[in-house]
Chain A
Amino acid sequence: MRARFGIVAAILAAIATPAAAAEKASVGALAFVSSAPIFIAKEKGYFERQGLDVEVKFFQAAQPIAVAVASGDVDFGITGLTGGFFNLAAKGALKMVAAQSREEPGFNFVGYLVTPKAYEAGFKTVKDYPGKTVGITTVGSTFHYNIGMLADKYGFKLSDVSLKPLQTVPNMVAAMKGGQVDSILLPANQALGLERDGAGKIIGWVHEHTPWQLGALFTSTSNTTAKRSTVQKFVDAYVMACADYAAAFHDRDASGKRVFGPKADALIPILQKYVKPEPNADQVKASVSFIDPQGRLMVRDLYNQVAWYKAQGMVDASADAKTMMDLGFLKQHLDLPN
């Protein structure tokens, strides 16, 4: 009896020791496929190998993650970049350290969806946006920015598009089904689903018109100074997971069509474990966006984003993109401005 107790105690001690030695860190994420590198790094033990005990905290929206990182409630955050994020970063609270998804030519991520009625009436390309009503989640959201980029590229005035903030994606879908808006923007998985149901027509993908850096891994400014080595370890593990992700999900055949091999099949169960509501394998394949294999940020594009938000009056004129990132955790980033 006593001997058995001794064995149990020894096992417990063995389990407890590495955990006690590991440094604790937390990351705020959405339960979306786009947070994949975090899930992969955790499940494959990359964080553990760096000596980090990482807790993933799930949030319902991107904004609260940025707020939680700024206030120190979580150490890292990974989300799409919005006007709200840039405003918090402009106040010196946040620093981007590595890349999340980006709109990369050839990789469907967010699509422009129009109602069948508007399509019939001639709303067939993104150049037809002026004069139309578009449902977005909120002012300063990535959807808002997507339409803004179209306006800049094709030379129409953003004010000629009537943007309706509807707060949530389900509201956007409902407004489109009810014909109260002419168009919405949706991630591929949902956009394709609606097109299959005959509720909408996809008239294009964002990557075909305006490739851009959609999301980032970020931490608080105080972490980049006071806990620099922890941030470095976290980023190293994250980048290893990005490489796995890219090897599994970035393959395309000679015609440019995406193909998913055994490496993808191996990663899909990890994503299914974390993503809510749990997607099936096909839904995961329709949702996997492009994430830089080395986690590099498209820096010049980030400067452009900040400039756009400033021009719209959504981000304070004194904001400086340069202060919103710490590029020192990776050997190199992409597209550095001079």
Chain B
Amino acid sequence: MPAEKQPVPFRGAGFDPTPRRFASWIAFAGILLAWQAASSTGLLPELFMPSPDAVLSALARMSASGELWLHLGTSIRRIVLGFLLGAFAGLLLGLAMGIFSMARAVGLPIVSALFPIPKIALLPLLILWFGIGETSKVATIALGVFFPTAVAAKTAVDGVARNLIRMAQSFGTPASAIVWKIVLPGALPGILGGLRIAASIALILVTAAEMIGAEYGVGALVLGAGNLMQTDKLVAGVVLLSLMGLAVSFGIGLLERRLLRWR
């Protein structure tokens, strides 16, 4: 009989992400410092990559001349408009596909067929339909946002625990109340996850949409700087895009915390 006790070491540590507030900042600063050092010492020629210092001064110059705000404002308007349109339509279709069998039978194959089409490939068509003005740019973004939102909404509705719905039904709750009080809140985390992806797609597509006929916008700035070989402005534009990405991610995080407080 095993009478003696064997000491058991604690093995439960790790695999438990905890916030490390400063680590990310330190890593970021380290990369920037190394980059600046490589530029300053001439290890990284200005011809191939501008120094962080040059990028910052490009940003400062554009900000002083007002050019920066014009580009940012134009792009943000396009993104917000396209995102709202695409997300609203995508949510409607996605929820309908999640709730109604008929909508699913008709919609799902169509969405699945159209989702993988690169929206950038459709750009010439969109320009034929909507011209080279704002409409085609907003439409490109809206299309890009529509599909991931629709798929996420449908999947999220599918994921709502059926036993909750059955329980509500056994209490005689009307169908509309079940949708409002159980299906929608239950699907919300999934929907917000989908919107997070859709927002990133909107940012990617704004650059593509602004390839054609755009005088202003962050995408137009990046492309124009590329055409002019103004690498400092180009990297400045890329920094703007990534800052916009961070802002969107932060905004959706805020939305998640507010809307999902019930969890």
Residues of A50-107 at the interface with B, using a CB-CB cut-off of 8 Å, are 63, 66-67, 70-71, 82-85, 87-88, 91-93
A28 to chain B, nearest CB (A): 15
Kindly list chain B residues whose C-beta atoms are within 8 Å of the C-beta of A82: 227-228
The reply to whether B215 and A163 contact each other, CB–CB distance below 8 Å, is yes
Q: Is B211 an interface residue (CB 8 A)?
A: yes
Kindly list chain A residues whose C-beta atoms are within 8 Å of the C-beta of B213: 135, 164-166, 175, 180
A91-B46 contact given A140-B224, A140-B227, CB 8 Å threshold? yes
Contact with B along A38-49 (1 / 0, CB 8 A): 000000000000
A140-B214 contact given A165-B220, A178-B128, A180-B131, CB 8 Å threshold? no
Kindly list chain B residues whose C-beta atoms are within 8 Å of the C-beta of A314: 228, 230
Q: Is A138 an interface residue (CB 8 A)?
A: yes
Q: Is B223 an interface residue (CB 8 A)?
A: yes
Q: In the complex, A315 Cα to B227 Cα: how many Å?
A: 11
Q: Is B106 an interface residue (CB 8 A)?
A: no
Kindly list chain A residues whose C-beta atoms are within 8 Å of the C-beta of B127: 174-175, 180
Residues of B117-156 at the interface with A, using a CB-CB cut-off of 8 Å, are 124, 127-128, 131-133
The reply to whether A83 and B228 contact each other, CB–CB distance below 8 Å, is yes
Q: In the complex, A175 Cα to B131 Cα: how many Å?
A: 8
The reply to whether B227 and A84 contact each other, CB–CB distance below 8 Å, is yes
A119 to chain B, nearest CB (A): 20
Q: In the complex, A91 Cα to B214 Cα: how many Å?
A: 28
Kindly list chain A residues whose C-beta atoms are within 8 Å of the C-beta of B46: 91
The reply to whether A70 and B228 contact each other, CB–CB distance below 8 Å, is no
A171-B212 contact given A93-B47, A165-B220, A165-B224, CB 8 Å threshold? yes
Which B residue's beta carbon lies closest to that of A162?
Answer: B215
| Size category of the binding interface on chain B | 20 to 34
Q: In the complex, A166 Cα to B131 Cα: how many Å?
A: 12
Q: DSSP class of B's interface residues: helix, strand, loop or mixed?
A: loop
Kindly list chain A residues whose C-beta atoms are within 8 Å of the C-beta of B212: 165-167, 171
The reply to whether B215 and A63 contact each other, CB–CB distance below 8 Å, is no
Q: Is B246 an interface residue (CB 8 A)?
A: no
| Size category of the binding interface on chain A | 20 to 34
Kindly list chain A residues whose C-beta atoms are within 8 Å of the C-beta of B114: none
A84-B132 contact given A70-B47, A164-B213, A165-B215, CB 8 Å threshold? no
Kindly list chain A residues whose C-beta atoms are within 8 Å of the C-beta of B128: 174, 178
Which A residue's beta carbon lies closest to that of B230?
Answer: A87
A267 to chain B, nearest CB (A): 33
A139-B132 contact given A88-B47, A164-B213, A167-B212, CB 8 Å threshold? no
Q: In the complex, A174 Cα to B131 Cα: how many Å?
A: 10
Contact with B along A163-183 (1 / 0, CB 8 A): 111110001001100101100
Q: Is B37 an interface residue (CB 8 A)?
A: no
Q: In the complex, A165 Cα to B224 Cα: how many Å?
A: 9
Q: In the complex, A171 Cα to B224 Cα: how many Å?
A: 17
Residues of B208-232 at the interface with A, using a CB-CB cut-off of 8 Å, are 211-215, 220, 223-224, 227-230
CB-contact partner of A63 in B214, B224, B229, under 8 A: B229
Kindly list chain A residues whose C-beta atoms are within 8 Å of the C-beta of B133: 180
The reply to whether B215 and A164 contact each other, CB–CB distance below 8 Å, is yes
Which A residue's beta carbon lies closest to that of B232?
Answer: A316
Q: In the complex, A63 Cα to B124 Cα: how many Å?
A: 23
A139-B229 contact given A93-B47, A164-B215, A180-B213, CB 8 Å threshold? no
The reply to whether A84 and B228 contact each other, CB–CB distance below 8 Å, is yes
CB-contact partner of A87 in B124, B131, B215, B229, under 8 A: B229
A140-B228 contact given A162-B215, A165-B213, CB 8 Å threshold? yes
CB-contact partner of B132 in A67, A71, A85, A164, under 8 A: A164
Which B residue's beta carbon lies closest to that of A84?
Answer: B229
B18 to chain A, nearest CB (A): 46
Kindly list chain A residues whose C-beta atoms are within 8 Å of the C-beta of B47: 70, 88, 91-93
Q: In the complex, A88 Cα to B234 Cα: how many Å?
A: 14
The reply to whether B227 and A180 contact each other, CB–CB distance below 8 Å, is no
A139-B131 contact given A165-B214, A175-B213, CB 8 Å threshold? no
Q: In the complex, A135 Cα to B212 Cα: how many Å?
A: 10
Kindly list chain B residues whose C-beta atoms are within 8 Å of the C-beta of A83: 227-229
Q: In the complex, A164 Cα to B94 Cα: how many Å?
A: 37
Which residue numbers of A lie inside 8 Å of B, CB to CB?
63, 66-67, 70-71, 82-85, 87-88, 91-93, 135, 138-141, 162-167, 171, 174-175, 178, 180-181, 314-316
| 11 sampled A-B residue pairs with Cβ under 8 A | A82-B227, A84-B228, A135-B213, A138-B223, A140-B224, A141-B227, A164-B132, A165-B223, A166-B212, A175-B127, A181-B132
